[in-house]
Chain A
Amino acid sequence: MTAPLEARSLSLMREGNAVLDDVSFSVAEGEIFALLGGNGAGKSSTLLTFLGFLRPSAGEVLVEGRSVHANVAAARSSIAYLPEAASLYGHMTAYENLEYFLDLAGRKATRSDLDSAFERVALAEEARSRRLQSYSKGMRQKTAIALALLRETPILLLDEPTSGLDPVAIDEFHDLVKALASSGQTILMVTHDVYGACQVADRVGLLRRGKLVGSFAAEPGRRIDTETVHAAFAEREAA
C-alpha cells in the first residue's frame, strides 16, 4: 500500500551546507509521525520539501505515491499546512480569514461549518467576528488549526503546532490531532517538544544536523516513553 508521505534518501543542500542528509521515512495512512530535533536540525526544511518549496539535491519526496516536484500543485492540494506561529491576516476577522483561505484552496464552507471548526479548536464565539490583530498568539494558532481542519485534506503537516498555546490548549490540540488521525488523516509534525511529541505521535524520529538518527514507535495501547526519547535526544545533541 502506498504511504501518503514518503521521503526517499532525501538530501538537501542550501548555500553549500547539507540541511538534510540521506533522510528516509514514510508515514502511513492515519499515522502521526513526529520529527524531533533542535534548532537547525532540518525539521522545517523537511516540511517545506514536502510542500514543494525546497527542491531536494538528491533523493525524492512523495505525496500519495507521486513525486512532489513532478506536480507541486497536486501535492499541495492533498496537504493542509500549519506553519509555526501561523500569521493570518490581522485586518480580517477569524471568519473572513477562513473564508479567504478556503477560497484559495478552492473550497467553500458555510458559516455553520466554520463555527463547528472553531468549536473543535475552542475558539470563543465572541472572538470569531473580531479582527485577528486583537488576538493572542494562542487564539491565532487556534484559528489556523481551524483552517487546517476545514481543508479536510488527507495529509496534515504541522510545524511546531503547539507553539504559543497554553497547557490546556496543548492538551486539547493533542486530542484533536489524535482524533484526526483516527479518522484516517496522515499527520507529519515537526517539533522540539519531546513531551508533546511522545504524548501524541505513533512514531517519533530524531533529526540531528540533517540526519535521521533514531526512531521510536509506540507499543499497542501505550505511548512512547518520554524519558527514553528525551535521553536519546539529549545524548544525540550532546554528541
Chain B
Amino acid sequence: MLRSLTRELRFLRRDRGALFWLALAFALSVIAVSFGIAEVREQRATIATLVEEDAADRANALSTQQDWGGAAYYAFHLTYEPPSDFAFAAVGQRDTAPWKHRIKMLALEGQIHEADTRNADFGLVGRFDFAFLTASLAPLLLILLLYDLRASERTARRHDLLVATVGSPRSLWLPRATLRVLGLAILLLIPLWVGAMIEGASPGVVLQASAIVIGALLVWWLIVELVSRIDASPSVLLTSLIGLWLALAIVVPAISKAAIEAANPVPDGGEILLLQRETVNDAWDLPKDDTMEPFVEQYPEWREDSVIDEGFEWKWYYAFQQVGDQTVAPLARQYREARLERDRDAGLVSLLSPTSFVERAFEKLARTDAMAMVAYEDRIRDFHEDLRRFHYALIFPKVEYDAARLEDLPQYDPSR
C-alpha cells in the first residue's frame, strides 16, 4: 500500500486540477479559521471593554445613592458568555442568540427577551466559519476531487489499460482516492490546528474536531464512491453528486427546520416582554396586597416585612417586579423548553444530513450550540436571583443604608 501511495503521490503532484482544488481547500480553511479567530477576538475585546465600563458605571451610579432601593435600581450588571477556546471554529448560535446582557434588579425575563424579536433559533447553516467549511464546502471539494477518478479514465479510453496493467482495480483506485481524501483532510486541518494552538484550545477538543472532519470526509467519500461506480459520463456523475449534495446539505436541513419549527412552536420573545411590562405597570394601580401576597408565596421569609405602610416603598416596587417575572414564568419556561425540544429534534434529524450533523457536532465542541446559549440564560437567572436575595435582605427588613455593604454585591461569574 505504501508503494501504491508513493506512486499516486507522484501522480497527484502532476495533476493540476486536483492540486487546484486542494490548494483552494487550504486557502478556504485559512480564511475560515482567520474569520473565526477575528470574530471571537472581537467578542472578547467587546466583553473586556464592557466589563471595565460596567464596573466604572456601577461604581459611579452607586456613589450617589442614599438608600438600598436606589442602589438596586440604578446599578446595572453585565452578564456575558465568553467564547470558548474553540469557538473560533464554530461561531454557531452566538450569531443568533445574545451572548451579553446588562441587567438590573427589575423584572428579569423582559430584560432577557427584549433583544429577541424573532426568537433565538438553531442555525442549520451558519456563517463562513470552519464548521461551515467542513460541513458544507468540504463535501463539494471532495466531490470535485473524486467524482471522475474512474469516469475521466473511461472517457480518455485509458481505463482498461490502467486496470489491465495494475491487475487489481483496488490497487489503483483505492490509493488514488485515499491520497486525495487524506490530502484534503490534512489541508483542511492544518489551519484548524494552528488556530487551535493560537487560541489555546484543549488537545482533546482538537482531536475530536479532527475526528469529525475525517469522519465527515469518509462519509462523503463513501457516497461519491457508490455513485461513481455507475458507468456514466463524468458530467452525469458530477450532476448526480451535486444533486445529492444539494439534497443532503440544503434541502433536508431546510425541510427539517420548517417541520421542527411547526412541531415545536416557540412563543415570541416580544410576548414575554409585553406581558411582563403590562403586569408591572398594572401593579401601580392594584391594591398593594395583590402584589405582596404572590410575592411572599415565593419568598415566605419576608412575610413579616411585607406590609406596605407608605404610598411608595422600594420593597413594594421590587415585589411587583418579582411578580412580573412570576406571571411570565410559564411563557418563559415554554420558550426555553420549546427551544430545547427543537434542538433535540434537530439533533435527531441531523442523522439524515451529514452537513447538519457536522455543524452541530462542531457547535457542541465549541460550546456555541443552543444548549450552551440556554445554559447562559439560566446563569443570568441564577445571578439575578443572587442579586435579589442580596438586595431583599437589605430592603425588606429596612436595614440602615451603608454604602460599604455594597462591596459584597454579587459579581457575575461566567464560569459558574
Contacts and interface: CB of A to CB of B under 8 A. Distances in A.
Given A72-B167, A100-B10, 11 more contacts: A48-B160, A76-B163, A87-B157, A87-B161, A88-B158, A92-B14, A101-B161, A104-B171, A105-B165, A105-B166, A144-B161
Interface string B1-42: 001000100110011100000000000000000000000000
Contacts of B158: 86-89
Contacts of B161: 81, 83, 86-87, 101, 144
Nearest to A48: B160
A119 B161 CA distance: 22
> Which 6 residue pairs of A and B lie closest in terms of their CB atoms, listed nearest first?
A73-B167, A81-B164, A104-B166, A76-B167, A103-B7, A73-B168
B140 to A, nearest CB: 24
A51 B160 contact: yes
Interface in A90-138: 91-92, 96, 100-101, 103-105
Interface string B181-195: 000000000000000
Contacts of B157: 83, 85-87
27 contacts: A48-B160, A51-B160, A53-B163, A53-B164, A72-B167, A72-B168, A74-B167, A76-B163, A76-B164, A76-B166, A79-B164, A81-B160, A83-B160, A83-B161, A85-B157, A86-B157, A86-B161, A87-B161, A88-B158, A89-B14, A101-B161, A101-B165, A104-B162, A104-B166, A104-B171, A105-B165, A105-B166
- Interface residue SS majority, chain B: helix
| A interface residue count range (under 10 / 10 to 19 / 20 to 34 / 35 or more) | 20 to 34
A96 B14 contact: yes
A77 interface: yes
Interface in A42-85: 48, 51, 53, 72-74, 76-77, 79, 81, 83, 85
B349 interface: no
A77 to B, nearest CB: 5
A81 B165 contact: yes
Given A91-B14, A91-B16, A96-B14, A104 B156 contact: no
Contacts of A83: 157, 160-161
Interface of A: 48, 51, 53, 72-74, 76-77, 79, 81, 83, 85-89, 91-92, 96, 100-101, 103-105, 144, 151
A51 B164 contact: yes
Contacts of B15: 91
B172 interface: yes
A74 B164 CA distance: 11
Nearest to B157: A87
Interface residues of B, number: 21
Contacts of A104: 7, 162, 165-166, 171-172
Contacts of A103: 3, 7
Residue among B3, B164, B166, B168 having the largest count of chain A Cβ atoms under 10 Å? B164
A96 B11 CA distance: 9
B158 to A, nearest CB: 5
Contacts of A76: 163-167
Contacts of A144: 161
B277 to A, nearest CB: 71
B19 to A, nearest CB: 11
A154 to B, nearest CB: 15
A48 to B, nearest CB: 7
Interface in B81-117: none
A202 B157 CA distance: 29
Interface string B146-170: 0000000000111011111111100
B375 to A, nearest CB: 55
Nearest to A96: B14
Interface in B122-162: 156-158, 160-162
A104 B11 CA distance: 11
A72 B165 CA distance: 12
